[in-house]
């Protein structure tokens, strides 16, 4: 799934508590699942950003030679404008795009 194509809010949004805990029946469990997905999204975005910024890396030891690369600045701004990982995770959760399984219930069966 491409996280850059998800239409999540970029600012603070209030969500219906009942919609969030509908799948699990427990708000704390739902938030735990959302938090884990947000961590995954954050690591994916961070890895991708580092790979793109390495293309612009110069390996000079001279502090006097600092160049402003416009492409590098544009890449950084693009990633700054993306919705935050927690907003993307909540959007995926509300759209039922996160696979959730309770291992304690599976062990009882």
HEC readout, 32-56: HHHHHHHHHHHHHHHHHHHHHHHCC
Q: Find the length of the chain.
A: 109
How does DSSP classify residue 98?
A: S
How does DSSP classify residue 101?
A: -
Provide the pLDDT for residue 67: 62
Provide the pLDDT for residue 101: 83
Is the pTM above the cut of 0.85? no
pLDDT (tens, 9 = 90+) of the chain, 109 residues, equals 577 777 888 888 899 999 999 999 999 999 999 999 999 999 999 999 999 888 877 666 555 555 667 888 888 899 999 999 999 999 999 999 998 887 777 677 6
Provide the pLDDT for residue 60: 62
User: What are the domain boundaries of the chain?
Assistant: 16-108
């Amino acid at each position: 799934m491409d996280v850059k194509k998800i239409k999540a809010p970029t600012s603070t949004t209030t969500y219906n508590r009942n919609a969030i805990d509908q799948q699990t029946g427990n708000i704390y469990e739902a938030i735990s699942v959302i938090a884990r997905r947000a961590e995954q999204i954050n690591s994916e975005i961070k890895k991708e950003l580092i790979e793109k910024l390495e293309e612009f890396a110069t390996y000079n030891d001279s502090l006097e030679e600092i160049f402003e690369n416009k492409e590098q600045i544009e890449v950084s701004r693009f990633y700054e404008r993306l919705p935050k990982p927690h907003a993307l995770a909540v959007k995926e959760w509300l759209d039922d795009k996160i696979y959730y399984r309770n291992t304690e219930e599976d062990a009882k069966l």
